[in-house]
């Protein structure tokens, strides 16, 4: 199998060396940081130890206010919440983060990762059935679902609300 690795130029060698010295790190790691636009000690600190003011406003995401209101409603009404994510690394990481965060203040929550072989990629009918059969009324869908129109309709028919948070591009529908 032929590999098609495309290496990026590390950038200005002087910046790489200066940053490596300031951070006391290897030149290879410094080069990776420079590739990502990190050229100074302060930029590296913000990258590795971000403060709240360094983070993007989550309300820049479309309908974040509606999502927050729906989660608060579920908590207030003692509804069961299911955090659902794809089986790949960004899906499982997202599920772990959101589930762990909400679990700290709300106990009626669980998570679901679909079986790659039997359920495939994205939201599955089995996952929706699991949610409805176990009394969940809200699913927080992470890393998938942006194109799952039929499954969203299916969930609605089963009185199950979705909050979809996905970095993929939506289709024309």
Same domain as 67, residue 99:
yes
* pLDDT digits 0-9 by tens, 125-165: 999 999 999 999 999 999 887 778 899 999 999 999 999 99
Evaluate whether residue 125 is within a structural domain: yes
Looking at the structure of the chain, the number of domains it has is: 2
Same domain as 99, residue 129:
yes
pLDDT of 171 higher than 80:
no
Same domain as 136, residue 112:
yes
Indicate the range of 7-11, 32-36, 95-99, 129-133 predicted with least confidence. Answer: 7-11
* pTM for the whole structure: 0.78
Same domain as 159, residue 85:
yes
**Which CATH number is 161's domain given?**
3.90.1640.30
Evaluate whether residue 6 is within a structural domain: no
Average pLDDT over all residues of the chain: 92
- Report in angstroms the alpha-carbon separations of 155 from 63, 67, 71, 132, 163: 19, 17, 17, 8, 11
DSSP 104: T
What is the extent of the structural domain holding 67? Answer: 58-165
Evaluate whether residue 172 is within a structural domain: no
Same domain as 80, residue 43:
no
Same domain as 68, residue 42:
no
Average pLDDT value for residue range 33-38: 94
Q: Among 18, 15, 11, which residue's Cα sits nearest to residue 35?
A: 11
What local confidence, expressed as pLDDT, does residue 76 receive? 98
Same domain as 84, residue 25:
no
Same domain as 77, residue 24:
no
Where residue 121 falls among pLDDT bands split at 50, 70, 90? Answer: confident
Same domain as 120, residue 80:
yes
Report how far residue 153's alpha carbon sits from residue 8's, in angstroms, rounded to the nearest whole number.
44
Evaluate whether residue 30 is within a structural domain: yes
Handedness of CA 54, 60, 65, 66 (dihedral sign): negative
pLDDT of 72 higher than 80:
yes
Where residue 173 falls among pLDDT bands split at 50, 70, 90? Answer: low
Average pLDDT value for residue range 66-91: 96
């Amino acid at each position: 199998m032929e590999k098609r690795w495309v290496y990026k130029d590390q950038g200005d060698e002087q910046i790489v060396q200066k940053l490596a010295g300031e951070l006391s790190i290897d030149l290879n790691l410094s080069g990776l940081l420079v590739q990502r636009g990190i050229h100074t000690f302060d930029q590296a600190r913000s990258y590795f130890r971000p403060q709240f003011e360094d983070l993007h406003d989550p309300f820049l995401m479309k309908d974040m206010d509606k999502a927050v209101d729906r989660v608060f409603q579920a908590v207030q009404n003692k509804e069961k919440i299911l955090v659902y994510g794809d089986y790949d690394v960004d899906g499982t990481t997202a599920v772990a983060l959101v589930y762990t965060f909400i679990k700290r203040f709300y106990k009626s929550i669980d998570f679901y990762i679909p079986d790659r072989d039997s359920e495939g990629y994205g939201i599955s009918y089995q996952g929706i059935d699991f949610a409805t059969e176990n009394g969940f009324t809200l699913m927080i869908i992470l890393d998938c679902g942006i194109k799952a129109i039929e499954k969203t309709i299916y969930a609605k028919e089963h009185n199950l609300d979705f909050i979809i948070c996905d970095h993929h591009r939506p289709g024309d529908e």
